[in-house]
Structure 1
């Protein structure tokens, strides 16, 4: 294989060679957005981070990385200048069609790695629809990269303490990719005043962010958290943690799924299928 694992940078014979060689031909598809991240952070943040993760783990999971989906289900940011978004239905269809065509081309596993919270809702619908339409030996699934993190790591990167958007975690990660994409002099601190005495305050997130233009309701600056202490070095530490966790999750799923599915699938369900 050449140095790159980017599907769009490889020539057709190189892709054929990978598909012939790989035990589990896998495509990693970053799913991002083009949306505001305060005044200090590039609008492509939610695409840059999962793309970087996919490229870093490609060798460890023996995968090729497809071009990122740079538009996402981010209508909650509608109203800010330059926002470009897809409807949830459209994003689900895009995910379905990409997965179907990649499976048709010879990939057995297609993984959509999201960098934006509400992308996950649509991406999982699209992945599920593709799974219905593809042979049983194909696996299509989607998850946001932070789902692989432990509770402690999540607390430091994305949380009520660290913030949820354009915060120190996202800002540091982008700085590790390219410091020119960040202007720390423009950072602002903002956070909605949420009641923290309920059983699970994180359960409020989906409700707060649902609906067109919803982000204006919770943040005047477009930021949720304090990004001012972000550094490229901190971002590199985050990437080391995140990439290990995501690669481990994908590899573990590939290792155990056939045994688990075979053991837990009732014979009568096989007959119905």
Structure 2
């Protein structure tokens, strides 16, 4: 069993006295447009995919048991607001839900919690950094330089919204949700998102992303997605060791 919420209350109580240390993983993302080819829930889907692989990897571990908390699919997402489907929550809302959920669990004795996020809007990331620090829990922070350097060239380039990097991850888990004919027709589009954001641009349209993507989605493959998942899993396992 991988999911915390599928346990009964007595089973949850038993986790705290079991010989295997429980580690809870909280997948986080945002519901927002990912080009004309990838699903709105690309970000939380990737976070869930990472958490499921971590939990399976640790299934036979003698001293650690990883369980996945119900995902938090909503995040701070203003940049895609010009496109249908974006669901935005404020920084205050995100901070409150993350700190409240984590505090509720830590008060029960579940002190080993890791937030796994795959939505990188700066205000969203900053809020998660504050929330996880306040709650005293771990955070997979992929935009930190040391972590980003372990990911794909497209991710490191900063031109990676619904491009090769993210689309490959979706193809690895849910190829049925990718419009692969449309994907193959999309030309590469280089937009340095961090630079554009630093320059004060606050929406994808102003950045030249008139189809809500940048990067090279036509180059995406499920094989690359699985390779990237393997790296992301290793990062979470390292965090579990630190926690």
Same fold, TM-score > 0.5, yes or no: yes
Structure 1 residues 108 and 41: CA distance shift in structure 2, 3 A: same
Distance 1:54 1:114 in 2: 10
Corresponding position of 2:166:
170
Q: How many residues matched?
A: 231
> Among residues 137, 140, 160, which one is paired with 2:137 in the alignment?
140
Corresponding position of 1:246:
236
Corresponding position of 1:257:
none
Distance 2:230 2:97 in 1: 30
Q: What do residues 27-54 of structure 1 show as CA deviations (whole Å, max 9, x unaligned)?
A: 1101111000001101100000011111
Corresponding position of 2:16:
19
Matched residue of 2:32: which SS?
A: coil
Structure 1 residues 73 and 193: CA distance shift in structure 2, 3 A: closer
Structure 1 residues 63 and 205: CA distance shift in structure 2, 3 A: farther
Structure 1 residues 146 and 36: CA distance shift in structure 2, 3 A: same
Q: What do residues 29-82 of structure 1 show as CA deviations (whole Å, max 9, x unaligned)?
A: 011110000011011000000111111112535221101101011111112102
Distance 1:224 1:173 in 2: 15
Distance 1:234 1:105 in 2: 40
Larger-gyration structure (1/2): 1
Q: What do residues 180-233 of structure 1 show as CA deviations (whole Å, max 9, x unaligned)?
A: 011121122353566xxxxxxx7525425764xx12211111111011121222
Structure 1 residues 106 and 238: CA distance shift in structure 2, 3 A: same
Matched, 1:204 2:195: yes
Matched, 1:217 2:206: yes
Matched, 1:10 2:13: no
Corresponding position of 1:261:
none
1:247 Cα shift? 1.2
> Among residues 226, 229, 234, which one is paired with 1:236 in the alignment?
226
Unaligned runs of 5+ in 2: 59-63
Write out aligned runs for 1:142-161 (5 A): 142-145=139-142, 147=144, 149=147, 151=149, 153-156=150-153, 158-160=155-157
1:15 Cα shift? 1.8
Moved more, 39-48 or 49-58: 49-58
Matched residue of 1:217: which SS?
A: helix
Distance 2:148 2:19 in 1: 30
Matched, 1:191 2:204: no
Distance 2:2 2:213 in 1: 33
- Normalising by the residue count of structure 2, what TM-score does the alignment of the two structures yield? 0.85
Matched, 1:182 2:171: no
1:146 Cα shift? 6.0
> Among residues 122, 132, 141, which one is paired with 2:127 in the alignment?
122
Unaligned runs of 5+ in 1: 131-138, 195-201, 255-273
Corresponding position of 2:61:
none
Corresponding position of 1:92:
95
